[in-house]
Every structure is written in C-alpha cells, then in structure tokens.
Amino acid sequence: MWMSRLAVALVLALAFTAIPTAPAQAQTVRVIVDGSPVFFDQPPVVIGGRTLIPLRGVFEQMGATVQWNPVNDTVLAMRGTTQVQLTIGSRSAWVNGQQVALDVPPMIINGRTLVPLRFIGESLGANVQWLVATRTVLITSPVSQPPQAPPPVVRPPQPVPSQTTIEGTVFRVDAANQRLYVQRGNTIHTVIITQDTAITRVNAVSGQGGAVSLAEIRAGDQVTVTMDAQSRALLVRAQVREVTGRIDVISGRTLVLENGQVYTLLDDARIIVNGREVSRSALQRGMEVTLRISPTTGQVLEVAAQGVAQPPPDQPSTDQPRITSFTHNATRALRAGETLTVELRGTRGGQATFDIFNVASGIPMREVSSGVYRGTFTVRPGDNVANAAMFGHLRVGGQETAIQGGVALTIDSQAPAITGRFPQPGAVVENVRPNILITFVDQGAGVNPQASTLTVNGQNVTANTTVTETAIAYVPPSNLPQGAVSVRAVIGDRAGNATTDTWAFTIGVAQGSLIRAVTVNPTTPLQAGQTLTVTAVGEPGSQATFSIAGVVDNIPMVETQPGFYVGQFTVGPQHNVQSARVVVTMVRGGQTSRVEATSRLTLIGQQAPSPRIVTPTAGTQVGAPIVIRGTATPGSRVVVRVDYQGTLLLFSVRGTYGEVSTTADAAGNWQVSLNPSIRIPNARLTITARAVDPVGRESAPAQVQVIQS
C-alpha cells in the first residue's frame, strides 16, 4: 500500500506542472452584458495591464447608439440622456460635457474601435466586474426606476404566473445582493433569491443532503432552479461531490489522499482550515480533509480541514528518500536584492538543495524541523529568467530523489533599456508641436504603465501619454515655446526596476517656412488595418501632402480649417518597415517647404515570420550549457523554451526547464545560453523558438529535438 502511494507521489512530483503563461493578448476574454454573451469579430485585448473591448458591440447591447466621424477620429455614443464622446489616441473623453481621464486611450485594431473596459460601464452608469478565474467581463446595465404606479384597480383573479426550470452550472454567487448566476450553454441566467426561496444541497457520492443558505453554494456546483416569470427562485437544488480523507501529498495544485486518489485544485479553490479561509500553502501532509468537487470538471472547488493531524516523523531509512512537497514564496517577478525562500518536505535527516533554471544550482537548504528543509536565494544583478523551472533534491543514506516545483519563477533584475529618443538629444526641429517618443526593450517581466512617467519642461504629462510594451508616446495638446525643451522619462517594469533618462532638444522654426507644426498619431507600432493620421499647421491656402519613407509618397492632405491640414494612411499587409521617416510637403505660390515629423514609424503589416534555429541541429547530443543560435527578423524579440521528456528513477518524466528571451541584432542573428539545473541522461529535449513583433504578436514556432547527454 505504502509503495503504491509512493509510486503515485513520485510520478506526480516529477511530472511537469508549471504551465508557461501566454501573452495577455492571446488569452480569451469573455464579455457578458446583462446575462447574454457578446461575440466580436475583433476580440478584446489586454494592453499595459488594461482590458480594451470593442465599443460598438457592448454599447449597442446596452441599448446605446454609436456614430463614427472619420474626419476627426471621434466616436459619439448616446443612451437615453447620456452622451459619450471619445477620440482615437486621446486619453480624454467627455461624458455629458464633463471631461473624464482614461488610463489607456481608445485605439483602432483591425478596423474596430477598442476602449478601456471600465470606462464603458462607468460612462453609462453600468456595473462592471472582472472575474479573474474565468477571464470574464460581467456588465450589468443600470436599472431604470419604474414609473409611478397608477391607482389600484380591482381585477378578477389572475392565473398563477408560469414557472420555468433551468439546469446548469453555478457561474457566480452574489450573497450580498441575493443573486445567483447560472450558466446554461452560452447564456448566463440571473436568478433572484428571496426569503421564500428553498435551497437544498445533496452529496452525489453519499446521497445525503438538506437545506443550506445561498452562501453555501459555490461556483461550479450543478443546480436545478425553479423560478417564476420574474426570475425569482422558488426552489434551488444543488448537487455536489464531497469526499473525505487524509492528505498524503500536496504539490502545487495536485493533492493526493492516502487512499491513492489524485485530485486537481482549481486556481481559486477555497482553502478552509479550522473554519478560517487561508492560502493553499497552509495545507499539510496528514491533514484530515473534506474535498468539494465539481460534478462536471472533477476539479476541487473547496478544501475544508478540521485540525492538523501530523503524521509521525519519517525514520531514517536506506530506502529511496521521499519528497512530499516543494514550494516557494514568490508571488510575482523578483528583482535584484530580493530574497526567495524555498521549502521542501520529505524524509528527515537528509541533505537538501534546490536549483533555479539558468540562474543557480545546488543552493543549500537547512532542516529546520523534522523532515522540513528551508533555503534562500538573493537575486543578483544580471539574473534574468522567465517561467523558470525549480528543482528540489533530497539525499538520504546515499540515495537521492528530485522533484520539480509546481509554480514557475520569474526573475527580472534588469530595468528596461532605452533604444531611441525622438526628437533626438541636441536636435533642432522646425516643429512647434513635435511628437515625443521614447522606445525601449524589456527582456524581463514587462513594462508597468503605472510605474512609468513623462515630464516635459518640468510639467508632468503622464496622463496624456500612451505607454506600450515598447514605447512611451506623447503629443503636445498645444504649441511648445520656441527654444530648449527638456524631457525626463521614468520607465518602470513589473518587477519594480526603473530606468530614468533626461535629454533636451531645441525648437527653432525657420523664417519664411510654410509649415509650423507636423504631428503623427499614433506613433506606436501599427499593424494591418490600423490608420495613421498626419496633421500639419501652416499657411492657409496651401497644397499639402505627406510621405512615409519606403512605403508611400505624396498622400494628399485636406485643409479642414484655415491653415490646418489632415491626411490619413491605412496600413496594409504588405507594409513592413521600421523607423520610417514621415515628411510633410507644402506648396503655395511657387514656394515649397518640407518638414519631417520628429518621431519614426514602425509598420507591421504581417506578423513576424518564424525564426530559424541554426544550432544545435536535430538529433545531436547536448551537454551543459546548451548554446542555441539562430536568425530572425532584425530587431524582433525571440523567446526560447526547452522542454524535456525522459526517464528518471524508473519513472517517465516530462516538463519544461524554462524560457529566456533575446533580441535579434541588425543582421538578424540571435543567441542564448541555457544551463539546465538537472540532467536527465538520454532525455529528449525539444527546443522551441518564437519571434515576437513590436505589437506583441507571436510567430509560428520553430523547433528542433536533441538528446541530453
């Protein structure tokens, strides 16, 4: 019996459990308005930590009308007496004539206008909720006050309102407002709970059950609801699965009971110990638990433990040592100087160490109590790795075993590196309203817009800037004074690192020039379907055009008001260029003037092609470190991951060592060096490389398989 549990525990412990996180743009975001899902041809995206969703689909679902003015890139939406106006690229919106600041400006993606999620709800008085576990946006329209009821009228008896019955899965429980949200197919039903509602729950395993309160219903329960025509519940019958036992192994989201049964915990599973809700790390081997399991998915919704029954300490043995759990305390990316604490539990009286993929190995751990080992690692400058696998090792009496941690680790000790400043330091520009653009690259946890600021001539203009993963862009709302202009930028990342940069340029408009200002919007990278707007201020009655170097020449500009000229260009799939110049030409009465916009454009018509892995070649043997070289589009970011599959201690194991990223140089060459902290002789390693373009789109993967020596 003990050996069977050991086999199960070892297989689970050694199996790969850390799943790399996909880019936010690639994860599905579901939008539900008043209980009905909204489907989009352009899905919602997450940019800079903010969710943007298509405006028209949601506004019209809420009964609003939407109008688009292509002349000035303005959206006007109306619902009842509420009027909302937004401008593409602007962080300022207007609601009933009142200015409202936006965290992220509206933008056009694939011909659709996307706006910040929370603004959609708040501008129309709706309630907006973000459900992390299901990546769902829940929008509830404001309820209009009913008109004053007329005097009562005596009517003959009416038939009892019809009743309906729905069966589905509990999507959400709102005990405070006495609401139950039940999902059936693609529809979310809102059920009103009253004091007359009868709620029962039955255990599908034992058949036992009885009356419960709404607060005892959980998301994931199967329910049958009988309700009247006003959606008021008459009867709610919930079905759950509950099993009891003693914890034998707890590793990440995997839990093994002493009877050998294996269960997976939901990410947001409730953990209750002695009646108090705690974190998952409070679960220990030997605890008596009751598991509440979803009848549909089989995953654990809730773990309830009554007291801690510690097993007797393991006795020293010449048998194979045993690891029952391996955890760490990092909840976010760590930066230089921060300390990671790691805990391993298993056979007592041994020597334990842990490794961090491509960072450090053999880090000692101390046995702080019987069978409990702890160790620490302080991040050093230069340590940098994403989704790194962690391995724990335990040696007792000449025998050693290993385990891979269930939660990957990200270390980011490097602040974002600035790659360009526009206007360039010391430049003299003939433009009184220049675009200000700072480009950068971050090879770690990503840029944090809330930790990034921009100051121009001593004035903090952050509220009117656009911050992406690769740039900070600012368009002055009015002309800047001629002379020296100072700029100070602070770019922070999600690990807490920051880069500060200051420089200056000079505005000096040439005497007699027809053009005084040139502005482009947006200055951040554009993809196919997005529209670039170029504006110029100059002498009235002129003929104006603009050109994008290497892309298009002499696009006509329209004089929308005296001396104000506007032109547009829509990016096509054939347009791929980096750092392109934009030049406005103005002609009047035989005089010609040309002024270049201060920022450069990057157009990404097609997503990045797959990179090429040059070395190692397929089928070769590799040792440590593993040096991987290849080619990709110059300037593109390349993410490299190494997966393993082999046999260790007679068990089949598979998982991911981790991933690192780099940038292809001007010739398109890239190289990374990976040092696996655990060697699995003759394991098959799969090396995967993906290129990421400036707008965050990933290429198809390039792969080679090699053998670990």
CATH number (domain holding residue 329): 2.60.40.10
Mean pLDDT of 85-93: 78
Mean pLDDT of 210-224: 81
Task: Using pLDDT thresholds of 50, 70 and 90, give the confidence band for residue 205.
Answer: low
Name the residue with higher pLDDT: 326 or 152.
326
**Residues 222-269 pLDDT 10s:** 888 888 877 888 888 888 788 888 887 787 778 888 777 778 888 778
Residues in CB range of 19: below 8 A, 6 or more apart: none
Q: What is the pLDDT of residue 308?
A: 53
Cis peptide bond upstream of 37, omega within 30 = no
Task: Using pLDDT thresholds of 50, 70 and 90, give the confidence band for residue 660.
Answer: confident
pLDDT at 600 over 80: yes
Average pLDDT over the chain reads: 80
pLDDT at 96 over 80: no
- Residue 456 inside a domain? The answer is no
Mean pLDDT of 654-663: 78
Handedness of CA 22, 25, 30, 33 (dihedral sign): positive
Task: Using pLDDT thresholds of 50, 70 and 90, give the confidence band for residue 144.
Answer: very low
Mean pLDDT of 369-389: 87
CATH code for the domain of 117: 3.30.457.10
pLDDT at 67 over 80: no
**H or E, element range at 429:** strand 428-429
Mean pLDDT of 547-570: 93
pLDDT at 697 over 80: no
Mean pLDDT of 98-106: 76
Task: Using pLDDT thresholds of 50, 70 and 90, give the confidence band for residue 6.
Answer: very low
Q: What is the pLDDT of residue 154?
A: 41
Mean pLDDT of 375-400: 87
The verdict on 87 and 107 lying in the same domain is yes
Instruction: Give the CB-side neighbour count of residue 452, counting CA atoms within 13 A.
Output: 30
Burial code (b: 16+ CB inside 10 Å, e: under 16) for 256-290 equals bbbeeeebebbeebbbbbeeeeeebebbbbebebe
Tokens representing 682? 């003759």
The residue among 311, 342, 360 that closes a domain is 311
Residue 458 · residue 486 · CB < 8 Å: yes
Domain of 39 in residue numbering reads as: 24-140
- Residue 642 inside a domain? The answer is yes
The verdict on 541 and 636 lying in the same domain is no
**DSSP label at residue 709:** -
The verdict on 633 and 529 lying in the same domain is no
Place of tokens 């075993």: 401
pLDDT at 500 over 60: yes
Q: What is the pLDDT of residue 544?
A: 95
Name the residue with higher pLDDT: 618 or 33.
618
The verdict on 121 and 99 lying in the same domain is yes
Cis peptide bond upstream of 625, omega within 30 = yes
pLDDT at 655 over 70: yes
pLDDT at 506 over 90: yes
With helix as H, strand as E and coil as C, how does 614-628 read? EECCCCCEECCCEEE
Strands 576-580, 591-596: pairing is: unpaired
Q: What is the pLDDT of residue 534?
A: 93
Task: Using pLDDT thresholds of 50, 70 and 90, give the confidence band for residue 314.
Answer: very low
The verdict on 327 and 387 lying in the same domain is yes
**Residues 149-162 pLDDT 10s:** 444 444 444 444 45
pLDDT at 630 over 90: yes
Handedness of CA 495, 496, 499, 502 (dihedral sign): positive
Q: What is the pLDDT of residue 34?
A: 72
| 693 phi and psi angles, rounded to 5 deg | -85, 175
- Residue 455 inside a domain? The answer is no
**Count of structural domains, the chain:** 5
pLDDT at 580 over 60: yes
Query: Measuring CA to CA, which residue among 338, 333, 498, 491 is closest to residue 412?
Result: 333
Q: What is the pLDDT of residue 649?
A: 55
Measured CA to CA, the distance from residue 249 to residue 258 in angstroms comes to 8
Winning range, highest mean pLDDT, from 12-16, 358-362, 472-476, 541-545:
541-545
The verdict on 386 and 493 lying in the same domain is no
The verdict on 175 and 294 lying in the same domain is yes
Mean pLDDT of 613-620: 91
- Residue 480 inside a domain? The answer is yes
Cα angle 61-62-64, degrees, rounded to a multiple of 5: 100
Which of 495-504, 508-517, 526-535 bottoms out in mean pLDDT, i.e. has the lowest? 508-517
Mean pLDDT of 392-410: 83
Mean pLDDT of 370-374: 90
Task: Using pLDDT thresholds of 50, 70 and 90, give the confidence band for residue 570.
Answer: very high
The residue among 604, 639, 666 that closes a domain is 604
Measured CA to CA, the distance from residue 347 to residue 345 in angstroms comes to 7
pLDDT at 74 over 70: yes
Task: Using pLDDT thresholds of 50, 70 and 90, give the confidence band for residue 515.
Answer: very high
pLDDT at 295 over 80: no
Query: Measuring CA to CA, which residue among 657, 688, 653 is closest to residue 10?
Result: 653
The verdict on 486 and 590 lying in the same domain is yes
Strands 300-305, 262-273: pairing is: parallel
pLDDT at 555 over 90: yes
The verdict on 167 and 306 lying in the same domain is yes
Which of 32-46, 224-238, 287-301, 449-463 bottoms out in mean pLDDT, i.e. has the lowest? 32-46
Residue 377 · residue 330 · CB < 8 Å: no
Mean pLDDT of 632-641: 85
pLDDT at 47 over 80: no
Name the residue with higher pLDDT: 9 or 430.
430
The verdict on 345 and 280 lying in the same domain is no
- Residue 448 inside a domain? The answer is no
**DSSP label at residue 15:** S
% the chain with pLDDT above 70: 84
- Residue 468 inside a domain? The answer is yes
Mean pLDDT of 677-696: 80
pLDDT at 341 over 80: yes
Which of 12-21, 351-360, 392-401 bottoms out in mean pLDDT, i.e. has the lowest? 12-21
| 385 phi and psi angles, rounded to 5 deg | -160, 145
Handedness of CA 230, 235, 239, 243 (dihedral sign): positive
Which of 54-58, 217-221, 631-635 bottoms out in mean pLDDT, i.e. has the lowest? 54-58
Handedness of CA 107, 110, 116, 122 (dihedral sign): positive
- What torsion do the CA atoms of 84, 89, 90, 93 make, to the nearest 10 degrees? 10
Mean pLDDT of 534-545: 94
Where would I find the H helices in 74-222? 117-123
Winning range, highest mean pLDDT, from 14-18, 105-109, 152-156:
105-109
- Go through the chain and tell me how many residues it has: 709
Q: What is the pLDDT of residue 636?
A: 81
Q: What is the pLDDT of residue 299?
A: 82
Task: Using pLDDT thresholds of 50, 70 and 90, give the confidence band for residue 653.
Answer: low
The verdict on 669 and 540 lying in the same domain is no
With helix as H, strand as E and coil as C, how does 541-595 read? CCEEEEEECCCEEEEEEEEEECCEEEEEEECCCCCEEEEECEEEEEEECCEEEEE
The verdict on 390 and 300 lying in the same domain is no
Q: What is the pLDDT of residue 674?
A: 80
Q: What is the pLDDT of residue 615?
A: 92
- Residue 207 inside a domain? The answer is yes
Q: What is the pLDDT of residue 404?
A: 77
Mean pLDDT of 167-188: 82
Cα distances (Å, whole numbers) of residue 105 to 116, 193, 477: 7, 40, 14
Mean pLDDT of 39-54: 70
% the chain with pLDDT above 90: 22
Measured CA to CA, the distance from residue 455 to residue 490 in angstroms comes to 9
- Residue 150 inside a domain? The answer is no
Within 10 Å of residue 564's Cβ, how many Cβ atoms? 16
**Residues 355-364 pLDDT 10s:** 888 888 889 9
pLDDT at 607 over 80: no
Q: What is the pLDDT of residue 675?
A: 76
The residue among 382, 412, 442 that closes a domain is 412
Winning range, highest mean pLDDT, from 139-153, 252-266, 442-456, 649-663:
442-456
Name the residue with higher pLDDT: 52 or 24.
52
